[in-house]
Amino acid sequence: MAEKSKRLKALLEAPEILVIPGIYDGYSARLVEASGFAVAAISGAGVSESHLGWADMGVMSFKDNLEACRAIAAFSGLPLIADGDTGYGNATTVHFTVRAFEAAGVAALMLEDQVWPKRCGHMDGKQVVSEAEMVQKIKAACDARIDDDFIIRARTDAAGPLGLNAAIDRLNAYAEAGADTVFADALLSAEDIEQVARNVPKPLTVNMGLGIRARPTTPLIHPAKLQAMGVAAVSYPRLLSTAAVRGMMNAMDAFKDMLGGTEAVDRPDLLVGFDEINKLTGFDQLSDLDETYAHDQEGSAHGHDGD
């Protein structure tokens, strides 16, 4: 996985802003890669909501998260950023959390300074641990990695509960502790984003809230403008998950309408075709493997018949 971490590090340090779609399952990961994006972030909220059926409020365990990330990393060719939540304990726990996610095949792990149980960064009621506690977690994370290229991303949620200056101070402390890149969540204005970008020493990532526009949250800003502000990367964690839910809702509405009538009606405008699904999910590769080994299997079977 060192090669993927190196690729991600180069993209974060490039002058062009890095656009990072959020993914949460096989479909979303395949779509992002097929669409030509260079990297993806595994959304902890997306995994919790889609795999467990619960909102992002600390229900998802370390094991739930790790297994979902390992499954995606096993087939995706993209450098993946995993969401390690709070590290699932203290600095000692963080050591083992980093080891596990690095072994799972992701290129980077994000750790945040909320108290546990954490909650989505755009929910009310967030609380953060002390700066000193999080600094120790970041030090533990950096010491734990086997490969020096494995990326540790330090996230702060302090802007809401403690104010922007506290968030900036924390990101600087986390960078000094060894974080390769920093993340400020739930900033409420373009001016806040620009101020953070000007005052942190490591590449900064911010979230854009596609999919949660009903709430007061980070304003939607084009990547080119974010780049001009000094932002290194922008993440869209809920774009695909919210689009998927909307698509399923539309399909269920159409299905119920059909059941209320007297004729079976197909809706290809709402559904992806069987062949498209197969193409997206590696059918051709699996068929090639079948063809490659079919002859040997037949030969082996014939040999046993003759014994």
Burial classification of residue 254, based on how many CB atoms lie within 10 Å of its CB (0-12 exposed, 13-18 middle, 19 or more buried): middle
> Which CATH superfamily, name and number, covers 2-244?
Phosphoenolpyruvate-binding domains (3.20.20.60)
| Residue 101 and residue 145 in contact, taking contact as beta carbons nearer than 8 Å | no
Q: What is the pLDDT of residue 186?
A: 87
Q: What is the pLDDT of residue 122?
A: 74
Give start-end residues of each CATH 3.20.20.60 domain in the chain: 2-244
pTM score = 0.92
pLDDT per residue rounded down to tens, the chain (307 residues): 689 999 999 999 999 999 999 999 999 999 999 999 999 999 999 999 999 999 989 999 999 999 999 999 999 999 999 999 999 999 999 999 999 999 999 999 999 999 988 877 677 778 999 999 999 999 999 999 999 999 999 999 999 999 999 999 999 999 999 999 999 998 989 999 999 999 999 999 999 976 555 455 788 999 999 999 999 999 999 999 999 999 999 999 999 999 999 999 999 999 999 999 999 999 999 999 999 998 655 555 445 554 5
| Residue 131 and residue 196 in contact, taking contact as beta carbons nearer than 8 Å | no
3-state secondary structure of 86: coil
User: Residue 223, preceding bond cis, omega within 30 degrees?
Assistant: no
Task: Considering only CA atoms, give the Rg of the chain.
Answer: 22
Nearest to 219 by CA among 210, 228, 232: 210
Q: What is the pLDDT of residue 298?
A: 54
| Residue 194 and residue 224 in contact, taking contact as beta carbons nearer than 8 Å | no
Q: What is the pLDDT of residue 125?
A: 73
Q: What is the pLDDT of residue 2?
A: 85
Residue with tokens 């060192």: 2
Which neighbouring-strand residues pair with 156? 184
C-alpha span between 65 and 92 (Å, rounded): 19
Which string of DSSP letters, residue by residue, matches 93-140? HHHHHHHHHHHHT-SEEEEE-BPSS---TTSS---B--HHHHHHHHHH
Q: What is the pLDDT of residue 209?
A: 76
| Residue 53 and residue 47 in contact, taking contact as beta carbons nearer than 8 Å | no
Q: What is the pLDDT of residue 213?
A: 53
CA distances from 63 to 57, 100, 122, 234, 248 (A): 16, 10, 24, 27, 28
